[in-house]
Structure 1
Amino acid sequence: MDKIKLMIVEDDPVWMQCISDYIEKENNITVVKQAYNKEEALQVDYNNIDVVLLDLTLLKDEGDEENLNGLEVARHLYEKGLKKIIMLTSWDEKDIILECFDTGVVNYITKTSYRDIPNAIREAFRGKVSLHADVTNVLVGELRKERKIKILTPTEREVYSLREQGLNKSQIADKLYKSVETIKRQLRIIKSKMQ
């Protein structure tokens, strides 16, 4: 059987080397291309690539600021017909995870789970969309929270939402034209219902 041809997009040279060395130990996967930033990744000829392992936060060429430009690369690859993309990241936030899957990513793994990368590559190559434990734990936690939110009244949901946005009791009270004592009472009720 031919080896699975992998491209790695990773801005950290140390991580790039570690991941490449680890993957090259696999007898059915080979690293055929490497890109260290968004620009390099967008210029690659994708004809000879089966799977892409893509860092979510790539450093900008002109500076040190991180951003989520791996999403931009994922969208570009997907539009070019490369649909076997695994996002590699240190982020484990629900909204970012969902946005990655919206771009066509087939799996999402945090860097601490690098040992699971070879299996994820094989699954992606076979066309499987997978939820790594990193993703599953976050999404299940969010699903549980969303189910609990449904038992709140509309007013309680509004207070809960503002609290989740980082507003304190006084700010919530001002925004909803209520007293701080009313907000405190509602937050106690919300807490008891959410437990």
Structure 2
Amino acid sequence: MAKIRVMIVENDPSWVEVLTSLIENEIDIEITEQISTKEGDLRGSFKNIDIVLLDVIHIENGKRVCGVELARRLLHKGLKKIIFISDLVETENILRSFDIGAANYVTKESYRDIPKIIREAYHDRICIRSDISNILIDELRKERKVRVLSPAEREVYILKEQGLNNRQISEKLYKSTETVKKQLRTIRRKIN
């Protein structure tokens, strides 16, 4: 029986140890490589790797880097599947991860599920944990609401969701405050 070959890309040695001890007991999964990006940029071929467990935020060449950008480069180099692991549940990173084609996104709090998640990803299935799926569902609902808005209303809506007040929105979009107020009333009517 061929084993699922996994590479761990993680800067924190204690997490590498936790993941390694968790996975080494699995008869169908093997860790073929462990890399700390503190040691340098990832290079080489990924033809013998099935899945990479990649920390969302890591250090690459001495700089703090978003793992989503690294993942995009790895997928272009021929890597098949990436499962992001993270300390944080950050909506933007989760959405960007799935946008670029990540197989899954797991919080370190849910690390015990990683062997199951590796198997699911290997077999082209997605088993998304509830903390992540709730974020995805919320974003889907927001997106459905926004579809009824005109492009100009969408701009106003997005800025309002980011916490800007009417005056700030009007300055940013070069509109009068009255126009922004009118558009916000229309937006409320449409999405409620």
TM beyond 0.5: yes
Partner of 1:145: 142
- Cα drift, residue 147 of structure 1: 2.0
SS of the aligned residue for 1:105 comes to coil
Worse-matched range after superposition: 108-117 or 161-170: 161-170
Aligned alpha-carbon RMSD (Å):
3.0
CA distance in 2, matches of 1:173, 1:41: 44
Partner of 2:77: 80
**Amino-acid identity (%):** 47
Q: Is the 8 A contact 2:95 2:136 kept in 1?
A: no
Taking structure 2 as the reference length, the TM-score comes to 0.78
Matched, 1:130 2:126: yes
User: Where do 1:46-195 residues align within 5 Å?
Assistant: 46-62=46-62, 66-68=64-66, 70-126=67-123, 128-130=124-126, 132-133=128-129, 134-152=131-149, 156-174=153-171, 175-179=174-178, 187=184, 190=187, 194=191
Worse-matched range after superposition: 16-25 or 97-106: 97-106
Q: 1:91 and 1:194, CA in 2 relative to 1: closer, same or farther beyond 3 A?
A: farther
- Alignment length (residue pairs): 189
Q: Is the 8 A contact 1:35 1:41 kept in 2?
A: no
Which structure 2 segments of 5+ residues have no match? none
SS of the aligned residue for 1:162 comes to helix
Letter of the 1:132 partner, please give it. I
CA distance in 1, matches of 2:147, 2:186: 14
Q: Give per-residue Cα distances to partners, 1:46-93, cap 9 Å, x unaligned.
A: 34322211112112442xx5330x234323332332202211123444
Higher strand share: 2
Letter of the 1:170 partner, please give it. R
